[in-house]
Structure 1
Amino acid sequence: MRYLFSLIFFVMLALPSVSQIVVGNVDINKADSVRIIEVLIAEKLSRKSVNVFVDFGQKSNFRSGYLDNNSDNQRIIDPETKKEIRFTSASALLNFMEINNWEHYDTAVVRDKSEQSFYYYFRKRIK
Protein backbone atom coordinates (compact mmCIF):
# COMPACT_ATOMS: atom_id res chain seq x y z
CA MET A 1 0.00 0.00 0.00
CA ARG A 2 2.86 2.34 0.78
CA TYR A 3 4.34 1.75 -2.67
CA LEU A 4 1.05 2.52 -4.35
CA PHE A 5 0.71 5.76 -2.38
CA SER A 6 4.31 6.71 -3.27
CA LEU A 7 3.70 5.98 -6.94
CA ILE A 8 0.54 8.12 -7.00
CA PHE A 9 2.33 10.92 -5.17
CA PHE A 10 5.21 11.03 -7.67
CA VAL A 11 2.88 10.81 -10.65
CA MET A 12 0.97 13.80 -9.32
CA LEU A 13 4.23 15.74 -8.96
CA ALA A 14 5.14 14.97 -12.54
CA LEU A 15 1.90 16.38 -13.95
CA PRO A 16 2.26 19.88 -15.32
CA SER A 17 0.83 22.44 -12.98
CA VAL A 18 -0.63 25.75 -14.05
CA SER A 19 -0.33 28.65 -11.68
CA GLN A 20 -2.60 31.63 -11.47
CA ILE A 21 -2.29 34.69 -13.63
CA VAL A 22 -4.09 37.44 -11.76
CA VAL A 23 -4.77 40.72 -13.57
CA GLY A 24 -6.24 43.27 -11.21
CA ASN A 25 -8.50 40.97 -9.17
CA VAL A 26 -9.30 38.44 -11.92
CA ASP A 27 -7.59 35.06 -12.36
CA ILE A 28 -7.62 34.95 -16.16
CA ASN A 29 -6.58 31.27 -16.21
CA LYS A 30 -9.83 30.28 -14.49
CA ALA A 31 -12.14 32.77 -16.22
CA ASP A 32 -14.03 30.82 -18.90
CA SER A 33 -15.00 33.99 -20.71
CA VAL A 34 -11.35 34.94 -21.30
CA ARG A 35 -9.90 33.14 -24.32
CA ILE A 36 -7.73 35.84 -25.94
CA ILE A 37 -5.71 38.59 -24.30
CA GLU A 38 -3.69 41.53 -25.55
CA VAL A 39 -0.52 42.41 -23.66
CA LEU A 40 1.13 45.81 -24.09
CA ILE A 41 4.82 46.09 -23.29
CA ALA A 42 6.13 49.64 -23.17
CA GLU A 43 9.91 49.64 -23.10
CA LYS A 44 11.90 52.62 -21.94
CA LEU A 45 15.63 52.72 -22.51
CA SER A 46 16.54 53.85 -18.99
CA ARG A 47 14.54 51.19 -17.08
CA LYS A 48 15.64 47.84 -15.68
CA SER A 49 12.18 46.37 -16.25
CA VAL A 50 9.39 46.78 -18.77
CA ASN A 51 5.89 48.10 -18.20
CA VAL A 52 3.32 45.34 -18.82
CA PHE A 53 -0.41 45.97 -19.25
CA VAL A 54 -3.00 43.25 -19.96
CA ASP A 55 -6.32 43.74 -21.73
CA PHE A 56 -8.67 40.78 -21.46
CA GLY A 57 -11.82 42.74 -22.26
CA GLN A 58 -12.23 44.54 -18.95
CA LYS A 59 -14.11 47.84 -18.88
CA SER A 60 -11.03 50.07 -18.88
CA ASN A 61 -8.34 49.14 -21.35
CA PHE A 62 -5.11 50.87 -22.29
CA ARG A 63 -6.50 52.27 -25.54
CA SER A 64 -9.29 54.16 -23.83
CA GLY A 65 -7.01 57.05 -22.94
CA TYR A 66 -6.90 58.25 -19.40
CA LEU A 67 -10.64 58.54 -18.84
CA ASP A 68 -11.48 56.13 -16.03
CA ASN A 69 -8.30 54.19 -16.83
CA ASN A 70 -6.84 52.51 -13.73
CA SER A 71 -3.54 50.86 -14.67
CA ASP A 72 -3.63 48.70 -11.51
CA ASN A 73 -6.51 46.76 -13.10
CA GLN A 74 -4.23 45.95 -16.05
CA ARG A 75 -1.14 44.66 -14.22
CA ILE A 76 -0.19 41.05 -13.55
CA ILE A 77 -0.31 40.58 -9.79
CA ASP A 78 1.35 37.91 -7.63
CA PRO A 79 -1.63 36.26 -5.89
CA GLU A 80 0.32 35.63 -2.68
CA THR A 81 1.93 39.03 -2.12
CA LYS A 82 -0.68 41.11 -4.02
CA LYS A 83 2.19 43.05 -5.65
CA GLU A 84 2.85 43.62 -9.33
CA ILE A 85 5.08 41.06 -11.03
CA ARG A 86 7.96 42.90 -12.69
CA PHE A 87 9.43 41.52 -15.91
CA THR A 88 12.98 42.33 -16.96
CA SER A 89 12.25 41.91 -20.67
CA ALA A 90 9.65 40.93 -23.21
CA SER A 91 11.18 37.44 -23.29
CA ALA A 92 10.60 37.06 -19.56
CA LEU A 93 6.92 37.87 -20.09
CA LEU A 94 6.64 35.51 -23.08
CA ASN A 95 8.19 32.66 -21.07
CA PHE A 96 5.88 33.39 -18.12
CA MET A 97 2.78 33.28 -20.33
CA GLU A 98 3.85 30.10 -22.17
CA ILE A 99 4.52 28.31 -18.87
CA ASN A 100 1.06 29.34 -17.68
CA ASN A 101 -0.78 27.78 -20.62
CA TRP A 102 -1.08 30.80 -22.95
CA GLU A 103 -0.01 30.53 -26.59
CA HIS A 104 1.53 33.55 -28.34
CA TYR A 105 0.08 33.93 -31.84
CA ASP A 106 0.70 37.49 -33.03
CA THR A 107 2.72 40.65 -32.37
CA ALA A 108 2.35 44.28 -33.38
CA VAL A 109 4.92 47.06 -32.95
CA VAL A 110 3.94 50.73 -32.60
CA ARG A 111 6.68 53.33 -32.77
CA ASP A 112 6.13 56.71 -31.23
CA LYS A 113 8.59 59.61 -31.05
CA SER A 114 10.41 58.52 -27.89
CA GLU A 115 9.39 54.93 -27.24
CA GLN A 116 8.29 51.67 -28.78
CA SER A 117 5.24 49.70 -27.73
CA PHE A 118 4.85 46.00 -28.39
CA TYR A 119 1.45 44.35 -28.47
CA TYR A 120 1.52 40.60 -27.93
CA TYR A 121 -1.58 38.51 -28.53
CA PHE A 122 -2.14 35.27 -26.63
CA ARG A 123 -4.82 32.62 -26.72
CA LYS A 124 -5.59 30.20 -23.94
CA ARG A 125 -4.53 26.65 -24.74
CA ILE A 126 -7.44 24.25 -24.72
CA LYS A 127 -6.65 21.29 -22.50
Structure 2
Amino acid sequence: MKHFFMPIVLALISLPTFGQLFVGKVDIDKSDSIKVIEVMIAEKMSNKYVDVYIDFGQKSNFKAGSIDNNPDDQRITDSTTGKPVRFKSTADVLNFLEAHNWDHYDSVIIADRGERLFYYYLRKK
Protein backbone atom coordinates (compact mmCIF):
# COMPACT_ATOMS: atom_id res chain seq x y z
CA MET A 1 0.00 0.00 0.00
CA LYS A 2 2.85 2.38 0.84
CA HIS A 3 4.40 1.79 -2.60
CA PHE A 4 1.14 2.76 -4.24
CA PHE A 5 0.39 5.78 -2.06
CA MET A 6 3.78 7.56 -2.24
CA PRO A 7 3.89 8.13 -6.05
CA ILE A 8 0.38 9.57 -5.93
CA VAL A 9 1.33 12.02 -3.17
CA LEU A 10 4.46 13.10 -5.06
CA ALA A 11 2.47 13.61 -8.26
CA LEU A 12 -0.11 15.75 -6.47
CA ILE A 13 2.56 17.88 -4.81
CA SER A 14 4.16 18.71 -8.16
CA LEU A 15 0.89 19.66 -9.90
CA PRO A 16 0.58 23.26 -8.66
CA THR A 17 4.07 24.23 -9.88
CA PHE A 18 3.81 22.65 -13.33
CA GLY A 19 3.47 25.20 -16.10
CA GLN A 20 4.48 28.19 -14.01
CA LEU A 21 7.57 30.14 -14.98
CA PHE A 22 8.17 33.07 -12.67
CA VAL A 23 10.64 35.84 -13.40
CA GLY A 24 10.71 37.89 -10.24
CA LYS A 25 7.05 37.87 -9.25
CA VAL A 26 5.62 37.64 -12.79
CA ASP A 27 4.36 34.35 -14.24
CA ILE A 28 5.54 34.86 -17.82
CA ASP A 29 3.82 31.67 -19.02
CA LYS A 30 0.38 32.99 -18.06
CA SER A 31 0.83 36.54 -19.38
CA ASP A 32 -0.70 36.94 -22.85
CA SER A 33 1.27 40.14 -23.48
CA ILE A 34 4.67 38.39 -23.19
CA LYS A 35 5.51 36.68 -26.49
CA VAL A 36 9.32 37.01 -26.66
CA ILE A 37 12.02 36.94 -23.98
CA GLU A 38 15.72 37.74 -24.02
CA VAL A 39 17.81 35.51 -21.77
CA MET A 40 21.29 36.58 -20.70
CA ILE A 41 23.47 33.84 -19.24
CA ALA A 42 26.80 34.81 -17.67
CA GLU A 43 29.31 31.97 -17.36
CA LYS A 44 32.30 32.77 -15.19
CA MET A 45 35.16 30.30 -15.38
CA SER A 46 35.56 30.31 -11.58
CA ASN A 47 31.88 29.73 -10.78
CA LYS A 48 30.09 26.37 -10.63
CA TYR A 49 26.70 27.92 -11.50
CA VAL A 50 25.67 30.27 -14.28
CA ASP A 51 23.93 33.59 -13.67
CA VAL A 52 20.63 33.83 -15.59
CA TYR A 53 18.72 37.05 -16.26
CA ILE A 54 15.51 37.38 -18.29
CA ASP A 55 14.20 40.50 -20.00
CA PHE A 56 10.55 40.33 -21.06
CA GLY A 57 10.10 44.09 -21.33
CA GLN A 58 9.85 44.80 -17.62
CA LYS A 59 11.05 48.09 -16.11
CA SER A 60 13.97 46.39 -14.38
CA ASN A 61 16.14 44.71 -17.03
CA PHE A 62 19.82 44.00 -17.56
CA LYS A 63 20.24 46.96 -19.91
CA ALA A 64 18.63 49.50 -17.59
CA GLY A 65 21.24 51.55 -15.78
CA SER A 66 18.85 53.13 -13.32
CA ILE A 67 19.42 53.18 -9.59
CA ASP A 68 16.22 51.26 -8.88
CA ASN A 69 17.15 48.40 -11.22
CA ASN A 70 16.65 45.18 -9.21
CA PRO A 71 18.42 42.06 -10.56
CA ASP A 72 16.03 39.82 -8.56
CA ASP A 73 13.21 41.02 -10.86
CA GLN A 74 15.14 39.45 -13.76
CA ARG A 75 15.80 35.99 -12.33
CA ILE A 76 13.78 32.80 -12.69
CA THR A 77 12.28 32.14 -9.28
CA ASP A 78 10.76 29.08 -7.66
CA SER A 79 7.00 29.60 -7.45
CA THR A 80 6.74 28.06 -3.98
CA THR A 81 9.78 29.53 -2.19
CA GLY A 82 10.32 32.74 -4.19
CA LYS A 83 14.06 32.01 -4.28
CA PRO A 84 16.08 32.17 -7.52
CA VAL A 85 16.45 28.88 -9.40
CA ARG A 86 20.11 27.86 -9.81
CA PHE A 87 21.39 26.38 -13.05
CA LYS A 88 24.64 24.49 -13.60
CA SER A 89 25.03 25.21 -17.31
CA THR A 90 23.63 26.99 -20.33
CA ALA A 91 22.12 23.72 -21.55
CA ASP A 92 20.38 23.35 -18.18
CA VAL A 93 18.72 26.76 -18.66
CA LEU A 94 17.68 26.07 -22.26
CA ASN A 95 16.25 22.64 -21.37
CA PHE A 96 14.29 24.23 -18.51
CA LEU A 97 12.83 26.90 -20.81
CA GLU A 98 12.03 24.37 -23.57
CA ALA A 99 10.16 22.29 -20.98
CA HIS A 100 8.08 25.40 -20.25
CA ASN A 101 7.11 25.78 -23.94
CA TRP A 102 9.59 28.45 -24.97
CA ASP A 103 11.20 28.02 -28.40
CA HIS A 104 14.77 29.22 -29.07
CA TYR A 105 15.11 31.16 -32.33
CA ASP A 106 18.32 33.23 -32.11
CA SER A 107 21.46 33.68 -30.02
CA VAL A 108 24.60 35.80 -29.60
CA ILE A 109 27.73 34.84 -27.65
CA ILE A 110 30.24 37.37 -26.32
CA ALA A 111 33.53 36.37 -24.65
CA ASP A 112 35.41 38.89 -22.52
CA ARG A 113 38.19 38.36 -19.93
CA GLY A 114 37.26 35.02 -18.43
CA GLU A 115 33.51 35.56 -18.71
CA ARG A 116 31.19 34.46 -21.49
CA LEU A 117 27.83 36.12 -22.04
CA PHE A 118 25.17 34.20 -23.91
CA TYR A 119 22.10 36.02 -25.20
CA TYR A 120 19.26 33.75 -26.23
CA TYR A 121 16.01 34.88 -27.78
CA LEU A 122 12.97 32.70 -27.23
CA ARG A 123 9.29 32.91 -28.09
CA LYS A 124 6.28 31.08 -26.77
CA LYS A 125 5.40 27.91 -28.65
TM class, shorter-chain normalised?
Answer: 0.7 to 0.9
- Kept in 1: contact 2:45–2:114 (CA 8 A): no
Q: Distance in 2 between matches of 1:34 and 1:65?
A: 22
2:38 aligned partner? 38
2:55 aligned partner? 55
TM-score (norm 1): 0.81
Q: Distance in 2 between matches of 1:66 and 1:51?
A: 20
Q: Distance in 2 between matches of 1:39 and 1:45?
A: 19
Number of aligned residue pairs? 109
Map Cα deviations across residues 2-38 of structure 1 (whole Å, 9 max, x no partner): xxxxxxxxxxxxxxx9521000110000000000000
* Moved beyond 2 Å, runs of 4+: 65-68, 111-114
Q: Percent identity?
A: 54
**Which 5+ residue runs of structure 1 have no aligned equivalent?**
1-16
1:7 aligned partner? none
TM-score (norm 2): 0.82
- Kept in 2: contact 1:18–1:99 (CA 8 A): no
**Which 5+ residue runs of structure 2 have no aligned equivalent?**
1-16
- TM-superposed CA distance for 1:53, in Å, is 0.2
